[in-house]
Amino acid sequence: MIRRYVEQILSIYNYIDGLVVTNNKGIVEYFITYRPDINRLKEEDVLGKHVLDIYPDLTSETSSVLRVLKNGKPIFNERQHLKTYKGQSIYAVNNTLPILSGEKIVGVVDVSKYLDPEARRENIILSFKDNHLPKNKNELYSVDDIITNENSMLVIKERILKVSRTGSSVLVYGVTGTGKELVAQSIHKHSDRSNMPFVSQNCAAIPSTLLESILFGTVKGSYTGAENKKGLFEVAQGGTIFLDEINSMEISVQAKILKAIEEKKIRRVGGIDPIDIDIRIVSAVNEEPWKAIKEGRLREDLFYRLSVVQINIPSLKERRGDIKLLTGYFIDRYNKNMNRGIIGVEERVEDIFNNYSWPGNVRELKNVIEGAFNLTSGNLIMVKDLPDYLQNKTNRYNERIEDLLGNVPLSNMVEDYEKNIIIVALEESINMVEAAKLLGISKQLLRYKMDKYGL
């Protein structure tokens, strides 16, 4: 257990985003960032520069580096808003410690974990009753919020930045929990429409009459209780509308959306006058588009209109290299939100995470971590803190291992196997030299193994 705790302490360094070392004058002598997508400074931009030259908005009183140099006391978990001399803003949590030679301070090491801006992105889905409230641009996700080290996702981040510069329609394909809305918001956030509304609507399981009213608005008297009310297409004027799960939308509404795209006009339910619209449409499906088309749940002509650019998001099991990274990210997030001090997961939990198929993808991993935070009493997430269905999977796995191995350790089984192979090789050879050659090892190593097994 002690060894595991040491490993977890060291693994914290897998979750840091940047590290700076200065000398006792505040001059940067070492710099590295593990998140160049957030902190775009490079080593050549900062080496040999004073911290106040790099971050001109800081002072000797607000810079954690200069305060530690002055008083020699470490600073832990301090939030800072850093604005670089190149104009980039970075939100970070910093741990700043003095470097001592005897009792003399010779420098400072500053470790950073980058944060989202303080405006948190909650309640993004826009319901019918509050569709007059488009989301503020500071509440939206950007590509910086796509946490990944996988090449497939890095390509998607690059593609988002490219397509955001155009006005073309984008179709996002990904199974549940992969982050389709995150991609849609990022496209809007980096576009020249970013100062205009972003409006989101999930189209699944909404009756066609209600969905038509939500999207296109209503005229008073068009049906009992109807009032003059804007639809989401009008609310999104000048900005972006995100239509999620369009493959679940009734065909009759799909036809009206196609007409609106072609004419760039809509009519409210019960209305006569056309209303001009200028919006970008980003849509999403949670199944293969051609499967939905073949089964008659998605109009082929609408698909062509909406998929000028198509972005396919891989499932979490296809990007297993991100599981540990995302686990650390969510642990950091819930440590902050719940005021906890969890440092990681125990080894068995890590094994479960790496071998699980994650049908709910990133959303499921996030929920599992959040649930564990509510149950764990220590500073490691243990198997007992996981949902029952994950605990049952590991129990069944252990039972299979026990059935396979019984009470014999794996090392003993391997040794028995090796011993039997050597016996066969010796029986098939006229001497040790030939046996060693048959086994592909040296004569000396064969002698060592024969002595080991008493042959």
Handedness of CA 204, 206, 207, 211 (dihedral sign): negative
Contact call for residues 397 and 351 (beta carbons, < 8 A): no
Per-residue pLDDT of 222-244, as tens digits, reads 777 778 889 999 999 999 999 99
- What's the confidence (pLDDT) of residue 411? 67
Q: Residue 238 region, left (φ>0) first, then alpha (ψ -120 to 50), else beta?
A: left
| Strand 280-285 with 104-115, pairing | unpaired
Identify the CATH number of the domain defined by range 14-115.
Answer: 3.30.450.20
- Distance, CA of 256 to chain centre: 35
Kindly list the domain boundaries of the chain, sorted by start residue: 14-115, 128-312, 324-399, 410-453
- 147, 172, 140, 70: which is closest to 319 by C-alpha? 147
The CATH architecture annotation of domain 128-312 reads: 3-Layer(aba) Sandwich (3.40)
Per-residue pLDDT of 76-90, as tens digits, reads 777 778 888 888 888
- What's the confidence (pLDDT) of residue 433? 84
- What's the confidence (pLDDT) of residue 138? 61
Per-residue pLDDT of 90-131, as tens digits, reads 888 888 888 888 888 899 988 887 765 433 333 333 333 333
According to DSSP H, which parts of 356-387 are helical? 361-375
Residues in the chain: 455
Give the single-character DSSP code of 205: T
Percent of the chain with pLDDT over 70: 86
Name the band, by pLDDT with cuts 50, 70 and 90, for residue 280: very high
Handedness of CA 247, 253, 258, 263 (dihedral sign): negative
Query: Which residue bears the tokens 């009008």?
Result: 234
Please tell me the least confidently modeled range out of 134-143, 267-276, 432-441: 134-143
- What's the confidence (pLDDT) of residue 393? 65
Name the band, by pLDDT with cuts 50, 70 and 90, for residue 403: low
- What's the confidence (pLDDT) of residue 128? 34
Query: Which residue bears the tokens 């040999």?
Result: 48
**Strand ranges, E, within 319-392:** 344-345, 380-381
Angle in degrees, 0-180, between the axes of helices 410-427 and 443-453, rounded to the nearest 10:
120
- Distance, CA of 224 to chain centre: 45
C-alpha–C-alpha distance, residues 314 and 117, integer Å: 27
pLDDT at 196 exceeding the cut of 90 = yes
- 98, 93, 134: which is closest to 114 by C-alpha? 93
**Amino acid at position 444, single letter:** Q
C-alpha–C-alpha distance, residues 405 and 368, integer Å: 31
| Strand 18-23 with 104-115, pairing | antiparallel
Say if residue 318 is exposed, middle or buried (CB neighbours under 10 Å; 0-12, 13-18, 19+).
middle
**Amino acid at position 21, single letter:** V
- What tokens were used for 231? 């639809």
pLDDT at 35 exceeding the cut of 90 = no
How open is the CA angle 44-48-49, to the nearest 5 degrees?
Answer: 95
Mean of per-residue pLDDT scores for the chain: 83
Query: What is the fold of 324-399?
Result: Helicase, Ruva Protein; domain 3 (1.10.8)
- 55, 142, 141: which is closest to 90 by C-alpha? 55
- What's the confidence (pLDDT) of residue 398? 53
C-alpha–C-alpha distance, residues 296 and 298, integer Å: 6
Residue of higher predicted confidence among 254 and 224: 254
How open is the CA angle 102-109-341, to the nearest 5 degrees?
Answer: 110
pLDDT at 61 exceeding the cut of 70 = yes
In this prediction, residues 143-151 reach a mean pLDDT of 90
**Element housing 443 (H / E):** helix 443-453
Global pTM? Answer: 0.60
Residue of higher predicted confidence among 61 and 394: 61
- 111, 108, 177, 191: which is closest to 318 by C-alpha? 177
